[in-house]
């Protein structure tokens, strides 16, 4: 039977074998955590604690400022040592709440079983999700309660769960589906109730047969949730590509999945929602895949948010001598780090350690008009043209050709024989264009 | 207009304040400086030199056959052309203040392709002049690799055709044939209504340009490029397909006047042109839809020149003619963006 898929895309080497069969391990509680006030899409949090204050695990320490925002919680128990700027994995220093551990990991009293989730109303579910500080754990970190609150005109009929994990090397979602399939399905059902939809679809790439089997078993009792194996192709896990593959709908340009009646969430988010709604547990930890040819023992660990990368590296045996690149995320869209003193944030799905053998040597040739990037772009754009217009700062032409539709998946730069940094140039183009738009109409953004 | 802006650097530190190196980890070692770059951090192993040198390799069977068919002399013609092309590129790179680009193989390829399109007895000095023109005017003046509109080798050949038209249309007999000069199959048909056996045309034991005679060896090299995806299959498919269909239609209408479509396919430089010239990435369209239009245009122009024009052969002109339309074709065959709604 032919597997469902989307058009174009690329086939990078998977390298999943490094960690796909490593069972989840819990990282020991760190001695100190650095919790950024800004680790999600939307407005940063306002700190609620002061220097010297003692906190318990799960206690709220940062308040949302605005609807598109998410609170942060203490991920260990201890004392707030300082609130200051520290290196942030998204490239700039960020305000973080630095907590030193008291070694006890004492939870707040409200962490226990809440009432049966099936008795809760949709509003109550969304409120629990918001209070728990849950954001998209696939890497985008969009506040989940906002996704669960579409405006009244948008009719949602399908919930899609993203179990693709199309990035090479990463296996966090894979292990969650294999080991916590019931939690994933429970989260899916809660999310479906919150959205008032009767149809759920779980998309999983075909390179995870054990995960597909586990999910099919966990959903066998529910005939309104379907597991759909998908062809292995990058970027199958991109929202628009996933919706196209599983239910064959095209999200319009400039639009959201809401516009075609769909909401998409990651499997990690589903588990976090299940724990928040049934146990009142805030988002204080997540699964991180530490992998790559530069780490001595690749593993999938459950780490507390705010743990410095160094702790995870040490837990996995340390780096090899010729490691030259540390990436937060996967190799196609991840962000390089200049230091291991950055903390795990809500969006950290993986830490990839690459040696000089795996790193691309950049010798840039002129564009030879081969058209391979055009053949790879899943959004049907013209990457070579977009990058060129961005480079010469012709913002109007770049926007006319659809530069704002680029999802920065990296397929174009992956195939370019001239090694042109297409995504870098397109990214700069998008940044400048959005800056200019904000200046023109400050009120609407 | 002179570009005064600095190119955006490839590697830029993500953090604007460079932090002092810390002692980290259990062993308290000095933290190394990790590489920073924009995503993606993985790429295929294809590169421009790899593509160029692979095309040169795919051309080799036909080149070697040319030497076998017309004598060792043609090797010197090929060398003259290639060396002239490479030297021209080195000189112009220096004049432009750029680093030498000959290692990417494109100058060698242009020189080789030009030689393949010349008659066997063509003087080597003139071949060198043609190569200089091809690189200087056909490529470098537009900005170098990737910026030229016309196929450089063919532009060089067009220059030679205009400048040395007699020598460019004097054909040598293949080695082993009892004659000094001979006509090409196309010439024989057009001017004397003499047909050449298909087998000879397919294998290559006929008169013609150095590299164009053996359809078999060209097809072998060409198909190799299609498989490696260094040549878009749609271009030879649409070019050869159009020639076959249009030529066939005319032949059905008047078989006395017009040759059959198989003759069209194997005669002249069509095979060489369809697999190695028209498929040149720089001068062909970037969109799939565009390549069909491109191929159809070349096929139509070729049939018109061959059957209704004054010349027996028109591959060079058909390709150069359609090269001029490529920017326009690219603009009008832009694919619809994912999720783009009709206005």
Smallest CA–CA distance, residue B39 to chain A, in Å, is 5
Least confident window among A311-315, B63-67, B324-328? B63-67
Task: Check residue A380 and give its pLDDT.
Answer: 94
Residues of chain A with Cβ-Cβ distance to B19 below 8 Å are 87, 338-339
Residue A273 shares a structural domain with residue A378:
no
pLDDT confidence bin for B28, thresholds 50/70/90: low
Task: Check residue B208 and give its pLDDT.
Answer: 81
| Euclidean distance between CA atoms B268 and B246, whole angstroms | 17
Nearest CA in chain B to A341: B24
Least confident window among B70-79, B148-157, B218-227? B70-79
Task: Check residue B24 and give its pLDDT.
Answer: 54
Quote the radius of gyration of chain B (alpha carbons, Å).
Answer: 24
Nearest CA in chain A to B26: A314
| Euclidean distance between CA atoms B39 and A360, whole angstroms | 11
CA atoms within 13 A of residue A156's CA, in its CB half-sphere? 25
Residue A237 shares a structural domain with residue A380:
no
| Euclidean distance between CA atoms B201 and B268, whole angstroms | 9
Smallest CA–CA distance, residue B182 to chain A, in Å, is 40
| Euclidean distance between CA atoms B212 and B190, whole angstroms | 18
pLDDT of B171 higher than 50 = yes
**Residue A394 belongs to some domain of the structure:** yes
CATH number for the domain harbouring residue A122: 3.40.50.11540
* Segment A165-176, tens digit of pLDDT: 999 999 999 999
* Segment B257-299, tens digit of pLDDT: 888 888 888 888 899 999 999 999 999 999 999 999 999 999 9
pLDDT confidence bin for B30, thresholds 50/70/90: low
Task: Check residue B71 and give its pLDDT.
Answer: 84
Instruction: Please judge whether B51 and A368 are an interchain contact, meaning their C-beta atoms are less than 8 angstroms apart.
Output: yes
Residues of chain A with Cβ-Cβ distance to B34 below 8 Å are 323-326, 336-339
Residues of chain B with Cβ-Cβ distance to A250 below 8 Å are 338-339
**Residue A319 belongs to some domain of the structure:** no
Q: Tell me the domain boundaries of chain B.
A: 48-332
Instruction: Please judge whether B286 and A369 are an interchain contact, meaning their C-beta atoms are less than 8 angstroms apart.
Output: yes
Instruction: Please judge whether A413 and B31 are an interchain contact, meaning their C-beta atoms are less than 8 angstroms apart.
Output: no
Q: Name the packing angle between helices B152-163 and B106-116 (round to 10°).
A: 40
Residues of chain A with Cβ-Cβ distance to B343 below 8 Å are none
Alpha helices in B117-179 (DSSP H): 124-136, 152-163, 165-168
**Residue A185 belongs to some domain of the structure:** yes
Q: What percent of chain B has pLDDT over 90?
A: 56
DSSP classification of residue A316: T
Residues of chain A with Cβ-Cβ distance to B292 below 8 Å are none
pTM here is 0.89
B42, B43, B338: residue with CB nearest A378? B338
Which of A:76-95 have CB within 8 Å of B?
Answer: 87, 91-93
Smallest CA–CA distance, residue A337 to chain B, in Å, is 7
Tell the burial category of B178 from Cβ atoms under 10 Å away from its Cβ (0-12, 13-18, 19+): exposed
- Indicate the average pLDDT of chain A: 92
* Segment A42-69, tens digit of pLDDT: 889 999 999 999 999 999 999 998 889 9
Tokens of A107: 């939870």
Instruction: Please judge whether B37 and A423 are an interchain contact, meaning their C-beta atoms are less than 8 angstroms apart.
Output: no
**Pick from B234, B236, B237, B249: nearest CA to B304:** B249
Least confident window among A192-196, B147-151, B177-181? B177-181
pLDDT of B6 higher than 90 = no
Cβ-Cβ contacts under 8 Å between A and B: the total is 200
Q: What percent of chain B has pLDDT over 70?
A: 89
pLDDT of B5 higher than 80 = no
DSSP classification of residue B273: I
B37, B40, B287: residue with CB nearest A332? B40
* Segment B97-107, tens digit of pLDDT: 988 888 889 99
List phi, psi (to 5°) of B216: -60, -50
pLDDT top residue among A363 and B304: B304
The answer to whether A367 touches A418, Cβ cutoff 8 Å, is yes
pLDDT of A80 higher than 80 = yes
pLDDT confidence bin for A113, thresholds 50/70/90: low
Instruction: Please judge whether B34 and A331 are an interchain contact, meaning their C-beta atoms are less than 8 angstroms apart.
Output: no
Instruction: Please judge whether B282 and A369 are an interchain contact, meaning their C-beta atoms are less than 8 angstroms apart.
Output: yes
**Pick from A163, A186, A162: nearest CA to A278:** A186
Task: Choose one of A227, A256, A279: the last residue of a domain.
Answer: A279
* Segment A294-344, tens digit of pLDDT: 999 999 999 999 999 999 999 999 999 899 999 999 999 999 999 999 999
Mean pLDDT of B204-223: 86
| Euclidean distance between CA atoms B34 and B31, whole angstroms | 9
* Segment A344-388, tens digit of pLDDT: 999 999 999 999 888 877 688 999 999 999 999 999 999 999 999
Residues of chain A with Cβ-Cβ distance to B335 below 8 Å are 374, 380, 382
Give residue A192's domain range: 16-20+118-279
* Segment A312-324, tens digit of pLDDT: 999 999 999 899 9
Task: Check residue A140 and give its pLDDT.
Answer: 87
Q: Which CATH class is domain B48-332?
A: mainly alpha
- Indicate the average pLDDT of chain B: 86
| Euclidean distance between CA atoms A72 and A86, whole angstroms | 17
Least confident window among A317-326, B123-132, B239-248, B304-313? B304-313
Task: Choose one of A279, A311, A331: the last residue of a domain.
Answer: A279
Task: Check residue A375 and give its pLDDT.
Answer: 93
Task: Check residue B159 and give its pLDDT.
Answer: 95
Give Cβ neighbours of residue B310 (< 8 Å, ≥ 6 apart). none
Task: Check residue B213 and give its pLDDT.
Answer: 81
Please check whether residue A365 touches B, CB under 8 A: yes
How long a stretch of residues is chain B? 343
Q: What SS3 string covers chain A?
A: CCCECCCCCECCCCCHHHCCCCCCEECCCCCEEEEECCCCCCECCEECCCCCCEECECCEEEECCCCCECCEECCCCEEEEEEEEEECCCCCEEEEEEEEECCCCCECCCCCCCCCHHHCCHHHHHHHHHHCCCECCCCCCCEHHHHCCCCCCCCCCEEEEECCCCCCCCCHHHHHHHHCHHHHHHHHHHHHHHHCCCEEEEEEECCCHHHHHHHHHHCCCCCCEEEEEECCCECCCCHHHHHHHHHCCCCCCCCCHHHHCEEEEEHHHHHHHHHHHHHCCCCCEEEEEEECCCECCCEEEEEECCCEHHHHHHHCCCECCCEEEEEECCCCCCEEECCCCCECCCCCCEEEEEECCCCCCCCCCCCCCCCHHHHHCCCCCCHHHHHHHHHCCCHHHHHHCCHHHCCCCCHHHHHCCCCCCHHHHHHHHHHHHHHHHHHHCHHHC
Task: Check residue A419 and give its pLDDT.
Answer: 92
Instruction: Please judge whether A369 and B284 are an interchain contact, meaning their C-beta atoms are less than 8 angstroms apart.
Output: yes
Task: Check residue B202 and give its pLDDT.
Answer: 81
Give the residue from A166, A238, A371 with the most B CB atoms within 10 Å of its CB, the best one to mutate. A371
- Tally of structural domains, chain A: 2
Give Cβ neighbours of residue B40 (< 8 Å, ≥ 6 apart). A331, A332, A333, A410, A413, A414, A423
Q: What percent of chain A has pLDDT over 70?
A: 98
What b/e readout covers B251-283, taking b as 16+ CB neighbours within 10 angstroms? Answer: beeeeeebbbbebbbbbbbbbbbbbbbbbbbbb
A360, A379, A408: residue with CB nearest B41? A360
Smallest CA–CA distance, residue B325 to chain A, in Å, is 15
A324, A380, A418: residue with CB nearest B335? A380
Task: Check residue B179 and give its pLDDT.
Answer: 62
Task: Choose one of A279, A308, A337: the last residue of a domain.
Answer: A279
The answer to whether B217 touches B62, Cβ cutoff 8 Å, is yes
Residues of chain B with Cβ-Cβ distance to A401 below 8 Å are 334
Give the residue from B40, B102, B109, B281 with the most A CB atoms within 10 Å of its CB, the best one to mutate. B40
Task: Check residue B3 and give its pLDDT.
Answer: 40
Please check whether residue A368 touches B, CB under 8 A: yes
Smallest CA–CA distance, residue B35 to chain A, in Å, is 5
pLDDT top residue among B69 and A412: A412
* Segment A406-418, tens digit of pLDDT: 999 999 999 999 9
Nearest CA in chain B to A425: B8
Smallest CA–CA distance, residue A312 to chain B, in Å, is 11
Give the residue from A258, A320, A366, A411 with the most B CB atoms within 10 Å of its CB, the best one to mutate. A366
pLDDT of B15 higher than 80 = no
Instruction: Please judge whether A391 and B7 are an interchain contact, meaning their C-beta atoms are less than 8 angstroms apart.
Output: yes
Mean pLDDT of A23-30: 94
| Euclidean distance between CA atoms A397 and A160, whole angstroms | 35
């Amino acid at each position: 039977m032919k597997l469902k898929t989307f058009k174009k895309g690329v086939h990078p080497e998977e390298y999943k074998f490094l960690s796909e069969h490593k069972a989840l391990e819990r990282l020991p509680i760190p001695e100190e955590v650095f919790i950024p006030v800004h680790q999600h899409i939307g407005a940063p949090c306002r700190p609620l604690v002061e220097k010297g204050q003692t906190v318990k695990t799960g206690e709220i320490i940062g308040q949302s400022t605005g609807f598109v925002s998410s609170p942060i919680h203490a991920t260990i128990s201890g004392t707030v040592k300082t609130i200051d700027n520290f290196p942030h994995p998204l490239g700039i220093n960020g305000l973080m709440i630095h907590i030193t551990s008291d070694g006890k990991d004492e939870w707040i009293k409200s962490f226990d079983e809440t009432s049966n989730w099936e008795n809760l109303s949709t509003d109550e579910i969304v409120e629990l999700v918001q209070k728990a500080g849950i954001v998209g754990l696939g890497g985008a970190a969009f506040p989940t309660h906002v996704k669960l609150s579409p405006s009244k005109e948008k009719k949602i009929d399908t919930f899609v769960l993203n179990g693709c994990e199309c990035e090479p090397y990463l296996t966090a979602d894979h292990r969650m589906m294999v080991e916590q399939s019931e939690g994933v399905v429970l989260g899916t059902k809660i999310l479906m109730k919150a959205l008032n939809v009767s149809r759920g679809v779980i998309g999983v790439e075909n390179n995870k047969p054990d995960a597909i089997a586990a999910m099919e078993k966990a959903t066998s009792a529910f005939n309104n949730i379907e597991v759909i194996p998908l062809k292995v192709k990058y970027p199958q896990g991109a929202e628009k590509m996933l919706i196209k593959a599983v239910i064959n709908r095209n999200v319009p340009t400039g639009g959201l999945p809401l516009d075609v009646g769909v909401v998409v969430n990651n499997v990690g988010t589903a588990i976090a929602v299940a724990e928040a709604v049934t146990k009142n547990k805030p988002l204080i930890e997540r699964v991180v895949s530490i992998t790559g040819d530069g780490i001595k023992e690749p593993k999938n660990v459950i780490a507390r948010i705010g743990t410095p990368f160094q702790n995870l590296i040490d837990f996995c045996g340390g780096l090899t001598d010729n490691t030259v690149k540390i990436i937060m995320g996967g190799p196609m869209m991840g962000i390089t780090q200049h230091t291991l003193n950055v903390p795990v944030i809500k969006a950290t799905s993986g830490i990839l350690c690459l040696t000089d053998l795996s790193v691309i040597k950049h010798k840039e040739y002129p564009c030879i008009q081969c058209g391979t990037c055009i053949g790879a772009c899943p959004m049907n754009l013209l990457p070579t043209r977009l990058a060129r217009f961005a480079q010469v700062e012709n913002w109007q032409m770049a926007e006319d050709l659809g530069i704002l539709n680029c999802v920065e998946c990296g397929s174009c730069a992956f195939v370019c024989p001239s090694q042109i940094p297409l995504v870098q140039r397109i990214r700069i183009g998008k940044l400048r264009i959005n800056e200019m738009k904000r200046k023109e109409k400050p009120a609407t953004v | 207009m002179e570009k005064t802006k600095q190119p955006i650097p490839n590697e830029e530190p993500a953090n604007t304040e460079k932090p002092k190196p810390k002692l980290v980890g259990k062993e308290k070692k000095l933290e190394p400086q990790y590489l920073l770059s924009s995503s993606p951090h993985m790429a295929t192993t294809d590169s421009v030199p790899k593509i160029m040198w692979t095309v040169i390799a795919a051309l080799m069977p036909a080149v070697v056959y040319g030497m076998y068919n017309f004598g060792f002399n043609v090797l010197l013609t090929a060398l003259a052309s290639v060396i002239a092309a490479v030297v021209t590129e080195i000189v112009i790179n220096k004049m432009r203040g750029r680093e030498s680009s000959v290692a990417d193989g494109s100058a060698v390829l242009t020189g080789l392709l030009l030689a393949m399109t010349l008659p066997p007895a063509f003087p080597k000095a003139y071949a060198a002049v043609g190569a200089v023109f091809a690189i200087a005017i056909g490529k470098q003046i537009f900005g170098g690799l990737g910026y030229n509109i016309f196929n450089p080798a063919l532009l060089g050949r067009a220059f030679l055709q205009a400048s040395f038209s007699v020598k460019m249309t004097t054909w040598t007999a293949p080695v082993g044939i009892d004659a000094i000069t001979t006509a090409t199959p196309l010439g024989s048909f057009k001017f004397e209504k003499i047909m050449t056996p298909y087998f000879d045309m397919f294998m290559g034991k006929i008169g013609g340009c150095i590299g164009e005679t053996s359809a078999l060896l060209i097809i072998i090299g060409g198909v190799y490029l299609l498989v490696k995806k260094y040549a878009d299959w749609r271009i030879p498919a649409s070019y050869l397909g159009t020639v076959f269909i249009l030529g066939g239609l005319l032949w059905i209408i008047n078989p006395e006047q017009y040759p059959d479509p198989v003759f069209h396919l194997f005669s002249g430089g069509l095979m060489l042109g369809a697999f190695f010239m028209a498929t040149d990435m720089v001068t062909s369209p970037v969109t799939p839809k565009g390549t069909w239009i491109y191929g159809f245009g070349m096929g139509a122009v070729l049939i018109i020149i061959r059957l209704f024009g004054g010349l027996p052969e028109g591959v060079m002109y058909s390709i150069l003619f359609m090269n001029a339309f490529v920017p326009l074709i690219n603009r009008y065959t832009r694919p619809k963006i994912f999720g783009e709604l009709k206005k």
